[in-house]
Structure formats: structure tokens, C-alpha cells
Amino acid sequence: MPDAQTSIEQACTTESLLGRSVVLVGYGNQGRAHALNLRDSGVVVKIAGRTASTARARAESDGFQTKDTAQAVPGADLVIVALPDEVHAEVWESAIEPHVKRGQTIGFIHGSSVHFGLVRIPDGIGAILVAPKGPGSTLRERFIQGQGIPALLAVAQERDPGTGGPTSHELARSWAAGLGCARAAVVRTTFGDEAETDLFGEQAVLCGGMMGLAQAAYETLVEAGYPPLLAYMECVHEIKQVADLLYARGPAGMRAAISNTAEFGAYSAAPRMVDDATKTAMRTLLKEIKDGTFTRTMQADHDAGAPWFRAQRAIAKAHPMEQSSADVRALMPWLAAEATGGTTPSVDTRANEQGKHTQQ
């Protein structure tokens, strides 16, 4: 059951989106999964993007009608922005805001750009958020399996009701249902809470903390003379096995599934690995997220051509751990097929290959 601070949207259906015009701007990991799931739920979706972009070409190969963003926005009941956060402001100012009218609704998959003021929605235009709690590949896979993953839903402002039709909130509920998220839970929140907790989770644990800890542990073993392959297996490769237990069973269930030795070691090591200094660093991260420092820094780097970001990416890619990773993955050739398979194009893949899902 949800805690007292959490509200769950009940009885979400796709009804409010059926027969409506939905435009999805962008066709990356999340965007593609949103488009495919919505289409398989009976919602007609058009994809918007730059002329001749690879993303737009992929959408067309998946059977979607595509248009330039500025041409697709007018008249749409719901415009979903499925682009990287750092380009929201640019695309909003150049291709969406000049063409959007009162009564329309703009949807976001992450609340950062709206919450931190990079995108400002005029009065009379709805602003909603549906944020699935997982990558696009998982969103799609669970949908195909008849399941779903939880999503967060927020309404920053309602659209002008003068044009009739569903409210922005009703469109958000139907969007979440069309993704299959209502099969799990659609949790009501705010743009601010979603943006701040999402950024913090990524930085402190999921991407920053986890990778930083794994890399440091790998380096410690290699420096001590252990084989790199063994170091990678013990400190990186096995993360998935333990994470899967945590995901499916919770903390207590995970501990019940590991050995007594591993559990004893966890109780002994955790307070030394995560001490007051670690928590102080986490509080600093959260403060910089909440006051907008992180968003401003990232946006400034992007606007300058992303020199810092590109440099950090190159440094990470050159780390010796990458070779150990390749060596371990080579022992399991099926992983390559799974990694390159991506999201499944449609529930009926054969029909999709024959072009039977093409929308007009």
C-alpha cells in the first residue's frame, strides 16, 4: 500500500485519448516506447522531429507518419516532448511555442525543464507529466508481456477549457494508461518532486553512486594484484544479480536470498562505506539540484558545445574497466543479441514488418 503522502490515480483508461490528435516530439529510447505502446493501445500517434534525422527515419520504418515539429504542433490535443532535457528550451522556443494555442496540452516525460524555468508554459495551455519509472526498453518489454511499470503523473497547469474536450489531467491519465503503467500504478506527484528526486536518484545511486563505487572497487582489486577479469566479475558483473533480487523482493527479501557470509559482510561494511561524509555529500548534491545549480551548469555546458561532458565521457570510455567488461561479456555472446535487439517494434512483429501498422 502507498504511504500517507502518496496518492494513486484510480481507474485510468485510454478513453480520453481515443480519437484525439497526439504528437510525440522525439523518437529516442523513451519516445519510441511511448509511441509504440500508445499505438498498440489504440491511440493514433504522429512523430515530430527534424527533417532527415535518424530518429525520424526510424519512426517511419516503424510505420509512423512523421512531420517537422512546427508543422505537427498546430491542432494537436496533446504534444508530448520526448527529447533530452538540454534541448527542451531550444526546441520549445523555436518549434513549439510559436505554434501552440490556448486549449492545447504539452506533455513531458521529465519535469526538470519546466520546474527549473527553462520552458515556460503560457496561461491557457496545459502542462502535464507522465514519467515511467524505468528506461524505454523496460517500459516496452513489460507492455508486451501484458504488464507495466509504475509512472509518476503531475499537472502543472490546466488547459483553457473553452475548446471543449478532456481536461489536461484526463489526457495525462489516458496517456499513462496507454503506456501500460496503470497496470502497475500511476502515482500523483508534482513537477518539482519528480524532477528533484529523479535527478538525485540518478546522481547519488543509480548512475553516479553505483558506477563510482563499482569503479573504485574494481581499481582496488586490480591495484592489489588481482586479475582484472576477476575484479570486474566480482565488483561490476554481479550487480545485476543482486539488483534483480532487490527489485523483485525488496531489501529484506534480497538479504534472505544471499549467503550468511554476504549478509554478515554487508552489515559490517555498509556503515564504513556510507558514513557521515557520504551523507554530507548526498545532501550537497540534493541542495545543488533543488536550487537549480545542477541544471544551470548542465545547460551552460550544453550551450557551449558540451566540452566538459564530452571530456568526461571520453575519460570514462578509456578506463581499463571497459576492456574487462568486454572480456566478461564475450563469455556470454547472447548478451550482445539482447543489447542490440532494442525494444520490440510491435505486439505483432510480423504485421509490423509487413507495414500493416502504418498510420495515415
Q: How many CB atoms sit inside 10 A of residue 160's CB?
A: 14
Q: Are the CB atoms for 147 and 154 separated by under 8 Å?
A: no
Same domain flag for 174 and 51: yes
In a domain, 15, yes or no: yes
Q: Is the dihedral of CA 92, 97, 98, 104 positive or negative?
A: positive
Same domain flag for 214 and 332: yes
Number of structural domains in the chain? 2
Same domain flag for 167 and 31: yes
Same domain flag for 165 and 281: no
Q: Which of 190, 225, 247 is the last residue of a domain?
A: 190
Cα–Cα distance list, 149 to 152, 180, 184, 332, 335 (Å)? 10, 7, 6, 28, 23
- β-pair type (186-188, 78-81): unpaired
Q: Which of 133, 160, 190 is the last residue of a domain?
A: 190
Same domain flag for 264 and 314: yes
**pTM to 2 decimals?**
0.90
In a domain, 66, yes or no: yes
80 strand-pairing partners: 24, 107
125-143 per-position pLDDT tens digit: 999 999 999 999 999 999 9
Q: Are the CB atoms for 133 and 152 separated by under 8 Å?
A: yes
In a domain, 350, yes or no: no
Same domain flag for 73 and 26: yes
Measured CA to CA, the distance from residue 320 to residue 315 in angstroms comes to 10
Same domain flag for 211 and 182: no
In a domain, 173, yes or no: yes
Residue 119's CATH number:
3.40.50.720
Cell of 142: 513489460
Cell of 285: 548534491
Coil, strand or helix: which one is 107? strand
In a domain, 281, yes or no: yes
24-66 per-position pLDDT tens digit: 999 999 999 999 999 999 999 999 999 889 999 999 999 999 9
**Catalytic residue annotation:** 110
Q: Are the CB atoms for 148 and 142 separated by under 8 Å?
A: yes
Same domain flag for 164 and 273: no
Same domain flag for 182 and 202: no
In terms of Cβ atoms closer than 10 Å to its own Cβ (0-12, 13-18, 19+), residue 337 is exposed
68 strand-pairing partners: 49
Q: Backbone phi, then psi, for 344, in 5-degree steps?
A: -75, 130
Closest CA to 245 of 259, 228, 231, 232: 259
Q: Which of 155, 190, 225 is the last residue of a domain?
A: 190
Same domain flag for 179 and 256: no
Same domain flag for 227 and 180: no
In a domain, 352, yes or no: no
212 strand-pairing partners: none
Q: What region, left, alpha or beta, does residue 180 occupy, with left being phi > 0 and alpha being psi -120 to 50 degrees? A: left
Cell of 332: 556470454
Coil, strand or helix: which one is 207? coil
Same domain flag for 58 and 171: yes
pLDDT (tens place) for every residue of the chain, 360 residues total = 566 567 999 999 999 999 999 999 999 999 999 999 999 999 999 999 998 899 999 999 999 999 999 999 999 999 999 999 999 999 999 999 999 999 999 999 999 999 999 999 999 999 999 999 999 999 999 999 999 999 999 999 999 998 899 999 999 999 999 999 999 999 999 999 999 999 999 999 999 999 999 999 999 999 999 999 999 999 999 999 999 999 999 999 999 999 999 999 999 999 999 999 999 999 999 999 999 999 999 999 999 999 999 999 999 999 999 999 999 999 999 988 877 654 444 443 323 333 333 333
Domain span at residue 151? Answer: 9-190
In a domain, 4, yes or no: no
In a domain, 63, yes or no: yes
